[in-house]
Amino acid sequence: MADDIMLETEGLTKEFKGFIAVSDVHLGVRRGTIHAMIGPNGAGKTTCFNLLTKFLPPTRGRIRYRGRDITKADPTEVARLGMVRSFQISATFPRLSVLENVRIALQRRRGGSFDFWRPAKALRQYNAEALDLIDMVGLGDVAETTAGELPYGRKRALEIATTLALDPEMMLLDEPTAGMGHEDVGRISALIRRVATARTVLMVEHNIKVVADLSHRITVLASGRILAEGDYDQVSRHPKVIEAYMGTDHAA
Amino acid sequence: MTVEAASLSARHSGQVPGHHQITFVVMLALLTMAPYGFYPIFLMKVLCFALFATAFNLLIGFVGLLSFGHAAFFGFGSYLSAHAAKVWGLPPELAILSGVAVAAALGVVIGGLAIRRHGIYFAMVTLALAQMIYFFALQAPFTGGEDGIQAVPRGFLLGVIDLRNDLACYYFVLAVYLCGFLLVYRIIHSPFGEVLRAIRDNETRAISLGYRIKLYKLLAFTLSAAISGLAGATKALVFQLASLTDVHWTMSGEVILMTLLGGLGTVFGPTVGAATIVTLQNHLAALGSWVTVAQGGIFILCVLVFRRGLVGELGRLLGNRQF
């Protein structure tokens, strides 16, 4: 059983001045699954992500990734261990083109990034692979557009392509379909399903349809605590969850 | 595949864009003929500052780091090259190289300390450390204190070319400038430069992709410091003088102004900015301290009216090209 757990936390807690954002969270993400984290605004989902990827230090608790304690690791190390995240606010390199955005990730994986004496032609070797990834997320028509000029939904798609370029064993996606049009949501959730066959995914998502379609397991957070956990049917019938979501269409 | 790899624009296939090649050739032609229309001494001053601003722009324009202490590298490079030429009797090429080496070493130390901070704190740390270098230069015996190092011999380049001849010296300085310029051009168009741009655009994302950004910043800082040292070391030989002016914080301010006026993050901007400022200083010299007021006015004008700088705005007018 323990080998099955890709990412695990024990009593994970984050206190900001006079405010507990994440409180005593025990989380276990099983290898090869899509695990969703849902909850009302301010539930601590993004803080959790920041703790897991070490962008924030936890106040208490432990984090283990593939059996290895990463409680004291830094974010670069975490990424290099194969756990790569996306961000809620679209995280692209706005002045680089779509192709260059994806190439940056490919370049990191392959090395040679300190070579300041080599011409940019050396980056050409990544073009084919980068373009494949760009096509995969449906951005083929804008490969040479500057990322900052893309509409919001397409920036999210680019972010996923960039994350995928690192071929991570585990992906943490923070609201991957937020701000996307209907068509794009379908495309991205199909993409997540496809790429998740070989990886583990932990995602924060507000679109309940996406969560219901994709996740094997759902953790519901409210006020920094785990409210419920289980598959979609279990969670959606959970009285506390219904209470927390009162007034939203999900409660119906 | 929607876009064939073969049909990608020059930018993505890593070729040097045509308008850069043309501009470079025009600039080279102008600089080669320049001594027949202008005083070589004036031109050499322009080239030294152009190189200094180009090195500075590598940091501010392509990594987004505003150093307020670059005078330390420029000035110390000039002290060391002057000392090496005068006291150690080294030939000009080795004197300059020793200036570059000491500037690079200083770059590792100052950069290593400063990159732990961001934004205004980064600028303040560089300023504080550069001020320490200034007071060291004021007190240390080898710098000559208020007098500086005077009557530095220009010497014979590679033991053959007599640099006392202003024209010969000019072409030597031009060669140094071109080497520095092309090195910076290569750095910003290399796999390393691509990562620098990514860090400038979104540092957090670069970290989340697994980049050890401090190492990239430190290497960029050191390269910028070394090339600033090259500019200072060359200037000391040209003017046969290394003085406190070159390590003073106002020099750090001047290089910011030159880069800003020419255009942050442009290839040719710092050179244009340096040429403009040095020309103005020469023409306004008679006005005494009004030069500073004029420079302040230019600075305000830049920030208010043309934020992209001269070259940046020109590039925008010529169809959003990056010069």
Which segment, A230-234, B104-108, B286-290, B299-303, is predicted with the most confidence on average? B104-108
Q: What is the mean pLDDT of chain A?
A: 88
Nearest chain A alpha carbon to B215: A114
Q: Is A111 near chain B, with CB under 8 Å? A: no
d(C-alpha B229, C-alpha A231), whole Å: 64
**For chain A, how many residues are written?**
252
**Which chain B residue lies closest to A165 (C-alpha atoms)?**
B209
Angle at B117 between CA B114 and CA B120, to 5 degrees: 95
For residue B252, the Cα-to-chain-centroid distance in whole angstroms is: 11
Residues of chain A with C-beta less than 8 angstroms from the C-beta of B223: 116
**Distance (Å, whole) CA B219 – CA B216:** 5
User: CA-CA distance, B110 to A112, in Å (whole number)?
Assistant: 26
Percentage above 70 pLDDT, chain B: 98
Cβ–Cβ of A99/B207 closer than 8 Å?
Answer: no
Which residues of chain B have a CB within 8 Å of the CB of A144? Answer: 3, 8-9, 11-12
Given the structure tokens 């370049």, which residue do they identify? A107
User: Residue A172: left if φ>0, alpha if ψ -120 to 50, beta else—which one?
Assistant: beta
Residues 145-174 of A with CB under 8 A from B: 162, 166
**CB spacing of B208 vs A117 below 8 angstroms:** no
B267/B185 Cα distance (integer angstroms): 7
pLDDT higher than threshold 50 for residue B1: no
Domains of chain A, residue spans: 2-246
Q: How many other CB atoms are there within 10 angstroms of residue A111's CB atom?
A: 9
pLDDT in tens, B107-156: 999 999 999 999 899 999 999 999 999 999 998 888 888 888 888 888 87
Distance of alpha carbon B66 from alpha carbon B106, whole angstroms: 17
Q: What is the pLDDT of residues B165-181, one digit of tens each?
A: 888 999 999 999 999 99
pLDDT at A89: 76
- CA of A45 vs chain B CAs: smallest distance (Å): 18
Which of A5-14, B20-29, B154-163 shows the lowest per-residue confidence on average (mean pLDDT)? B154-163
Residue A251 is predicted with a pLDDT of: 41
Residues of A in contact with B212 (CB under 8 A): 76
**Dihedral in degrees, nearest 10, Cα atoms B45, B47, B48, B53:** 120
pLDDT at A37: 93
Reported as a pLDDT band with limits 50, 70 and 90, residue A248 is low
User: How far, in Å, are A22, A178, A198 from residue A204 at the CA level?
Assistant: 15, 10, 19
Q: Is B136 left (phi over 0), alpha (psi -120 to 50) or beta?
A: alpha
Summarised one tens digit per residue, pLDDT across range A202-244 is 999 888 889 999 999 999 998 889 988 898 888 888 888 887 7
| Average pLDDT in chain B | 90
Which of A40-49, A51-60, A61-70, B9-18 is predicted with the least confidence, judged by mean pLDDT?
B9-18
**Half-sphere exposure for B294 (CA within 13 Å, toward CB):** 16
Query: How far is the C-alpha of B264 from the C-alpha of B269, rounded, in Å?
Result: 7
Q: Give chain A positions within 8 Å (CB) of B204.
A: 55, 87, 91
Tokens encoding A169: 């064993």
- What pLDDT is recorded for position B3? 47
* Contact predicate B266/B49, CB 8 Å: no
Cα angle value B291/B246/B66 (rounded, 5°): 85
CATH number for the region A2-246 comes to 3.40.50.300
DSSP string of B223-288, one letter each residue: HHHHHHHHHHHHHHHHHT-B-GGGTSHHHHHHHHHHHHHH-TT-SSHHHHHHHHHHHHHHHHGGGT
Question: pLDDT tens digits for B214-263?
Answer: 999 999 999 999 999 999 999 999 999 999 999 999 899 999 999 999 99
The pLDDT tens digits of the residues spanning A61-91 come to: 999 999 899 999 999 999 999 999 988 777 8
Q: Which of B206, B229, B230, B189 is nearest to A115 (CA)?
A: B189
User: In this structure, are residues A12 and A61 in contact, taking their beta carbons and an 8 Å threshold?
Assistant: yes
ipTM: 0.87
Token pair of B132, please? 């320490």
Higher-scoring residue by pLDDT: A102, A153: A102
